[in-house]
Amino acid sequence: MKALIYLLKTTVINYFKRIKEKPQKALSLVVVVIWITIMFFPNRRASHGNTSIVASVSIFVIFTVVTFLYSLYSGTKKVSSKFDMSDVNLIFVSPIRPQTVMLYGIVKKIALEFFASLYILLQISNFMNTSKVTATAQLLFYVSYILYQLVLCNILKLFIFVMCNKFSGLGTIIRDTIKAFIIFIVGIATLDIIKHGAEKFFKGDIVNVANTITYSGGVKYIPIFGWMREMAFQVMTSLKLSYLIYMFCIILLSFVLLYITYNVKIDFYEEMLTSAEVNQNRRDIKSGRGRKKSFVTRPFRNVALNLKDRYGAEVIFFKHMNEYSKKSFLFLINTYSIILLLVSVLLGIFEKRLDIKILFLYTSSILFFSAGLGGRIYNEITNYFIFILPDSAQKKLFYGIASSLIKIFTDAVIIFVPFGILSRKSILEVILCIICYVAWGGMLSYSGLLAFRIAQFLGFTGSLANGLIFMFFQMIITVPAVLIVLISVFLIKDFSGYFIYLALLIYAISASALISLGCVGIFDNMEIEGTISR
């Protein structure tokens, strides 16, 4: 135990020491702090309306039931741990009781999941700001939520995991019971809708259930759900001393489950090995050391790589096209393309009057996120292969980006052609949309590469810091495009026909040409810190 306390303590101390030594490491921390501050800062514009107590409390209780059932269910399967390979190699093999190691794992998991749970706390915070909830009640509720969601649910998962390991068959019983419960609830709701109609169900029966959940005296005696109900109710109305008793009940239950788990003789290391490897891989990617591994287990299509009479940098292009084909249903048509096709067809049928320029602007804004780091070239620059290829940097850049441009072109055709045909738009405008979309995507691909180079030059090797620099750079180069759109909308009426296309095309091509000059150097040497596995 002493060794694990030493490990946790030293890790925290060194985290701050490291920030002092390398201030750029603080970037992600600063962003998180700013985000948290904004999140919990009182929203002055929030409408102080009277949110329904029944709706709030019942939704919260249902949320509690769902998270509880999820914890039970996931506990019967493989528990995703926060252990990584350093824990496996150094802690698992040490003469420390597995129960103590598990305790250390829970502490690690709670600490790491705390930040992830802040998003849900934000939703609660926003809601409370609109519901006249006092500051004390808000604070108490955050503490209760953390106690329930992070502490109790995580301990419950482990408790169930340990019990399922101890008693074979228990996992199946729990899973079947949960499935039966869900089928029962869905069945009753469906029967009710069939019998009395949807309107009565949504306006009558659900309200009755919500009222029962909120006001029924018996509910508060149900462990966990009843306690959470009472706490939510008191936060919405007025706090009583019993609030602290309910909080104590959650702590006590967590402690009892933990105590039982701790005292059961367990051998759980094997079950943790897979998630430890995955966590290690994620950690390596985050620190800029590892290479991206696909977490998708869908098998690739069997498409042969044909490189006959293809030499030098050309090979990159054909390799990329082959990779796209292997990951797509047909040629370059993947899941994303299907979604685009559906959107295009639905808009073409139901929104015929929609200006194609609006569709162009919407889809182009999505490219802002997908074109930058989505291209295949980003897999290449974390691999030595492209650097050792005996060809000019210009050719590597051209062939490296070419496949992404073809993919963007395919997507553009899928978006604009069905919509154009179904809503009878001008052929010229459809073609202009496609050309501008490809030019815009090309520019964002080049700029993503340059942003990557700038981030590396500034010493930002972590994935979060890298991503932030990337976003910042993309935003800067998008500003002129936004100005073009604003001029088109406000100064020249109705987008002035084709002006917007012409202006965006000129900007995208000029910017791409300039940015590509800055990108070429990326292939000159392999000494970019963090990109190559040392």
Q: Which residues bind other proteins (CB under 8 A)?
A: 2-3, 6-7, 10-11, 14-15, 18, 84-86, 88-97, 267, 269-270, 273, 280, 283, 287, 533-534
Closest approach of other proteins to the CB of residue 283, in Å: 7
Cβ proximity to other proteins, 149 vs 456, nearer residue: 456
Cβ proximity to other proteins, 248 vs 384, nearer residue: 384
Residue 269 CB neighbours (<10 A): 17
Closest approach of other proteins to the CB of residue 88, in Å: 7
**Nearest by Cα to 463 from 242, 230, 272, 282:** 282
Cβ proximity to other proteins, 199 vs 527, nearer residue: 527
Distance between CA atoms of 531 and 534, rounded to whole angstroms? Answer: 9
Cβ proximity to other proteins, 96 vs 520, nearer residue: 96
Cβ proximity to other proteins, 91 vs 443, nearer residue: 91
Distance between CA atoms of 356 and 418, rounded to whole angstroms? Answer: 11
Closest approach of other proteins to the CB of residue 145, in Å: 29
CA dihedral (184, 186, 189, 190) positive or negative? negative
Closest approach of other proteins to the CB of residue 2, in Å: 6
Cβ proximity to other proteins, 83 vs 446, nearer residue: 83
Closest approach of other proteins to the CB of residue 296, in Å: 22
Cβ proximity to other proteins, 154 vs 280, nearer residue: 280
Cβ proximity to other proteins, 93 vs 173, nearer residue: 93
Contact 314, 399 (CB under 8 A): yes
Closest approach of other proteins to the CB of residue 533, in Å: 8
Contacts of 361 (CB under 8 A, 6+ apart): 485
**Nearest by Cα to 529 from 456, 469, 433:** 456
Contacts of 126 (CB under 8 A, 6+ apart): 43, 46
Per the document, the length of the chain is: 534
Axis crossing angle, helix 153-166 with helix 242-263, rounded to the nearest 10: 30
Helix (H) or strand (E) segment spanning residue 33: helix 26-40
Closest approach of other proteins to the CB of residue 80, in Å: 18
Contacts of 78 (CB under 8 A, 6+ apart): 271, 274, 275
Contacts of 284 (CB under 8 A, 6+ apart): 290, 291
Distance between CA atoms of 171 and 87, rounded to whole angstroms? Answer: 27
| Residue 328 backbone dihedrals phi, psi, to 5 degrees | -110, 165
Closest approach of other proteins to the CB of residue 269, in Å: 5
Tell how far CA 354 is from the center of its chain: 31
Cβ proximity to other proteins, 87 vs 380, nearer residue: 87
What's the token pair of residue 225?
Answer: 């759900």
- Helix, strand, coil % (nearest 5) of the chain? 75, 0, 25
Closest approach of other proteins to the CB of residue 273, in Å: 6
